[in-house]
Structure 1
């Protein structure tokens, strides 16, 4: 049976003020989920993805934690307007920033988990840490970096968890106004020995951790990354979703009116059908179907742009395409011609992709 990629009503049961600009929304939602995943919400005529801070293994309710982004269309609305009892539209849980351990990995339940979280990046990491401590015997080491003590999300909860798990959870709180910026030495203090490494936070923070681990000889297969660097936005048309928690590098976004370079090979065309309109553009090698749709002047649906949420899914009705990453569609959906347009690159000269209404 194909997965359910639709949106469903979820009711807010309570709201917790974590810091002056961060709120947790507890939801009455019957979704099964894995620690580290996120929900995609339909609000204000657009789509936004927010990670769960709750753990399915320790918490009785599903919670998402949202940081107010300056100028943020949805985060501002959620902070200012939503109250307990209000109903939101959300898709099912998505994402692959999850605990590893499948595939016959005999060391998965004992190999240390080392996590580096910066700012609101603590949200999915908190979920992972709680599940790892509750369901495995793994030692957990966590560096949580924030600008100041008032900005430290979940600090009290993490301190209490460390107190209940002496010897299992090594916790370091880093405050920029007290300690300066995070250093390579701090990272290496926690990175000693074989481990699985989980990273989430602002891009400069992430780059520092990734570079430090790589220079230390940590294999890339042991480093798991979730990127959602907040960006400000302005109101957009209702048919033009744009992510507030951007999980995609800026240089991968192709302006809709970007001209085709004169020396770019043109070996065919990409035809996009969306909202009853059909438009074609010359094929660009290496360009995703989502990028082609934007270049055709469309505002197609998307959210994570990392192959995790299926918001951008559409069906190939002519030609072929290969997905770089697919963590959202099952084998039956792929066999029926569905692709994640953010990840699908044409492998045939002429391709047609149709979005469902």
Structure 2
């Protein structure tokens, strides 16, 4: 796996000093308060083996209590039902039939960040440090490629001057690629802005991926198509972020900014077959997430609860014109379908 550069470690030190003690105290106090409320709103549990053997959803549980932050599973045919808990704690999770990737914050006086790779039995196969706050992660459909994105500076894509690092790991060969170093092609012309950032990878196959590229100095955020073999990323659309490819490979779901004051993000769908796109008007709430696909005609995404800090829910919406959002998995975040 790749090792962060000295520049990245220097930036990490700034982030660590800024958030280390505060986040440790904040999370500890949240868990203490949440545990007091857990008895009033219990989450029914089931055994892990019974759920992992059928098509299921993998996600980060945000239910208050001792299991807050743990990776959990629910059957695909009963997503709001009893959940099976692992002992793996993650901020972001990407899962497949043979591997799971977990990005986490390890809080303390010197807060640090870590990626972990686990096998089908939830046993650790590898861990390595991340240069900053976990943001996004995705596995390819065959679990041979893994993308990880961290905030090296800043905690949000709306923060002025944020910096990200996105690495694609080839889990078969052991090679890794910092896609920020790839040649960026905008409207057929190579450009090299010093402030470019790339994030939100989704894999189409063992070479092609889609992602977000941004240059604040140029004033653009693009959806891009990348090639690992050619070391290039090429813009396919001006505007949009955090793409996610459908299971059948024909469409990309992404978030599109529809207003600036306040900032409002909606769900966009790009059809790769004819280039047409539209916004799912049934979901009117703003969201800041990389959507996932429940099936070829349904997307899912996380939204925070306004009245319960730290608690999020996973919602879904069909691509039909008249569809409305549905609460899919309460008290959950970062969902992935496995075996569906």
* TM-score, normalization by structure 1: 0.28
* Bigger RCO (CA 8 Å, 6+ sep): 1
* TM-score, normalization by structure 2: 0.29
Structure with bigger helix share is 1
Structure with bigger strand share is 2
* Structure with greater Cα Rg: 1
